[in-house]
């Protein structure tokens, strides 16, 4: 197809293939749906919408609610149908992208799709932040630096002092440090104060995790107004559908449910971590998210063995430094118990 840019012909698709299973622990989703009373509020809003009319140009009602909730100016906010679109927009606007390895694959995918210069800096062997190597990479010229914190897929929470070093370097070099805070509710981390002080720091957030709205597809960027002006131009006008706005307005008016869900998942996380530490052949890494990274002797065998017992997890062994690893979302208590039973049963089979 000569109508397309040549570099796109060899670009692989995003690495995901849907698989059905009774217990789904593969996508870091919330295991809890939106409470019925909040759904009813959203449906009431939907009934009063004029479906024949375009939505607001830039999700203005949602930005107003977010601005009130976060005490953040609307001019420093972009709302989009999923934070993946914001990642793509940021990359399209960038001259150069710096990332960690391993990391959320959409950063690298977006850079390759946009033919933007891309550099991945390997995490340390214990998944700690390679701060000096990242600072060195940022010295090469103004760069857009993606850093998920808490980190995906490792679950690590990086020290505040290291984040501040990177933020200062971004200011010094004229770059932009993008902290992807998709999982921040599970770690109680919040870098809005840093982003207020430093216009070279931006925050990415999503409604897919703690808010339990993975199926709705919505995320937002908090950044300096001059950053948001550029990014907004890469998001199609009228881009957030009216029904999505209606749902977001309803959840932003009743945010208390997220606190209950987060506390439930945190309690489950601690119990699962304690149990998995007793596994004879699997190594579970500490997590500040709603998932665990687990290193097994054989990721393919672990994945297949769990799937045979009706439990779907995510293989990670194709990523740099994650040989033998699988990723497991925290589910409902009964799902977590089923997973633990299956995990220890697999170890008994392998030793038989």
Q: Are residues 72 and 102 in the same domain?
A: yes
Peptide bond into 102 cis (omega under 30): yes
Q: Are residues 179 and 290 in the same domain?
A: no
Choose one of 253, 281, 312: the last residue of a domain. 253
pLDDT attached to residue 351: 55
β-pairing, 117-122 vs 77-80, is unpaired
> Would you give the end-to-end CA distance of the chain in angstroms?
54
The CATH number of whichever domain residue 245 belongs to comes to 3.40.640.10
pLDDT attached to residue 348: 65
Q: Kindly state whether residue 38 falls inside one of the protein's structural domains.
A: no
Q: What's the CA gap between 228 and 298, in Å, rounded?
A: 44
Q: Kindly state whether residue 317 falls inside one of the protein's structural domains.
A: yes
β-pairing, 325-329 vs 291-295, is antiparallel
- SS3 of the chain: the string is CCCCCHHHHHCCCCCCCCCCCCEECCCCCCCCCCCHHHHHHHHHHHHCCCCCCCCCCCCHHHHHHHHHHHCCCHHHEEEECCHHHHHHHHHHHCCEEEEEECCCHHHHHHHHHHCCEEEEEECCCCCCCCHHHHHHHHHCCCCEEEEECCCCCCCCCCCHHHHHHHHHHHHHHCCEEEEECCCHHHCCCCCHHHHHHCCCEEEEEECCCCCCCCCCCCEEEECCHHHHHHHHCCCCCCCCCHHHHHHHHHHHHCCHHHHHHHHHHHHHHHHHHHHHCCCCCCEECCCCCCEEEEECCCHHHHHHHHHHCCEECEECCCCCCCCCEEEEECCCHHHHHHHHHHHHHHHHHHHC
Q: Are residues 95 and 75 in the same domain?
A: yes
Chain center to CA of 93:
20
| Pick from 276, 293, 277, 291: nearest CA to 341 | 276
Q: Are residues 272 and 231 in the same domain?
A: no
Q: Are residues 75 and 207 in the same domain?
A: yes
Q: Are residues 263 and 249 in the same domain?
A: no
Q: Kindly state whether residue 44 falls inside one of the protein's structural domains.
A: no
Q: Are residues 110 and 249 in the same domain?
A: yes
Choose one of 220, 237, 253: the last residue of a domain. 253
Q: Are residues 268 and 135 in the same domain?
A: no
Q: What's the CA gap between 269 and 287, in Å, rounded?
A: 8
Q: What's the CA gap between 310 and 200, in Å, rounded?
A: 46
- What residue numbers bound the domain in which 145 lies? 49-253
Choose one of 208, 234, 253: the last residue of a domain. 253
Q: What's the CA gap between 203 and 197, in Å, rounded?
A: 13
pLDDT attached to residue 344: 96
Question: Based on the structure, what is the number of domains in the chain?
Answer: 2
Q: Are residues 146 and 194 in the same domain?
A: yes
Q: Kindly state whether residue 39 falls inside one of the protein's structural domains.
A: no
Q: Kindly state whether residue 40 falls inside one of the protein's structural domains.
A: no
Q: What is the pTM of this model?
A: 0.95
Q: Are residues 87 and 164 in the same domain?
A: yes
Q: Kindly state whether residue 186 falls inside one of the protein's structural domains.
A: yes
- The CA radius of gyration of the chain, in Å to the nearest whole number, is 21
Q: Are residues 21 and 105 in the same domain?
A: no
| Pick from 237, 211, 209, 235: nearest CA to 221 | 235
CA separation (Å) from 141 to 79, 166, 203? 29, 14, 21
Mean pLDDT by 10 residues, the chain (352 residues): 84 81 96 95 94 95 96 97 97 97 96 96 97 97 97 97 98 98 96 98 97 96 98 95 96 94 98 98 98 98 97 96 98 98 83 52
Q: Kindly state whether residue 95 falls inside one of the protein's structural domains.
A: yes
The CATH number of whichever domain residue 270 belongs to comes to 3.90.1150.10
Q: Are residues 74 and 29 in the same domain?
A: no
Q: Kindly state whether residue 41 falls inside one of the protein's structural domains.
A: no
């Amino acid at each position: 197809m000569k109508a397309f840019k040549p570099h796109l012909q060899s670009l692989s698709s995003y690495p995901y293939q849907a698989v059905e299973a009774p217990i789904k622990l593969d996508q870091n989703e919330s295991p809890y749906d939106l409470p019925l009373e909040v759904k009813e509020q959203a449906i009431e809003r939907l009934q009063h919408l004029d479906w024949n009319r375009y939505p607001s140009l830039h999700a203005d009602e949602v930005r107003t609610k977010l601005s009130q909730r976060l005490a953040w100016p609307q001019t420093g906010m972009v709302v989009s149908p999923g934070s993946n679109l914001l990642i793509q927009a940021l990359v399209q606007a960038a001259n150069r992208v710096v990332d960690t390895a391993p990391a959320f694959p959409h950063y690298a995918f977006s850079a390759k799709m946009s033919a933007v210069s891309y550099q991945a800096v390997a995490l340390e062997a214990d998944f700690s932040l390679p701060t000096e190597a990242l600072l060195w990479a940022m010295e090469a010229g103004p760069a857009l630096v993606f850093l998920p914190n808490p980190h995906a897929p490792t679950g690590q929470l990086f020290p505040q002092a290291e984040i501040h070093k990177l933020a200062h370097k971004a200011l010094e070099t004229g770059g932009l440090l993008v902290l992807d805070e998709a999982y921040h509710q599970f770690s109680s981390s919040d870098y809005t104060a840093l982003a207020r002080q430093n216009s070279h720091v931006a925050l990415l957030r999503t409604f897919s995790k703690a808010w339990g709205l993975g199926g709705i597809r919505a995320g937002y960027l908090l950044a300096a107004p001059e950053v948001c002006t550029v990014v907004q131009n890469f998001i199609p006008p009228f881009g957030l559908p009216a029904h999505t706005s209606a749902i977001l307005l309803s959840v932003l008016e009743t945010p208390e449910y997220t606190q209950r869900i987060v506390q439930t998942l945190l309690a489950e996380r601690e119990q699962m971590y304690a149990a998995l530490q007793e596994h004879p052949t699997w190594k579970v890494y500490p997590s500040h998210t709603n998932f665990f990274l687990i290193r097994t002797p054989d990721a393919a065998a672990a994945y297949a063995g769990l799937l045979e017992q009706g439990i779907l997890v995510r293989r990670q062994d194709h990523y740099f430094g994650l040989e033998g690893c699988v990723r497991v979302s925290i589910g409902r208590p009964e799902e977590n118990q089923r997973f633990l039973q299956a995990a220890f049963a697999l170890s008994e089979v392998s030793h038989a």
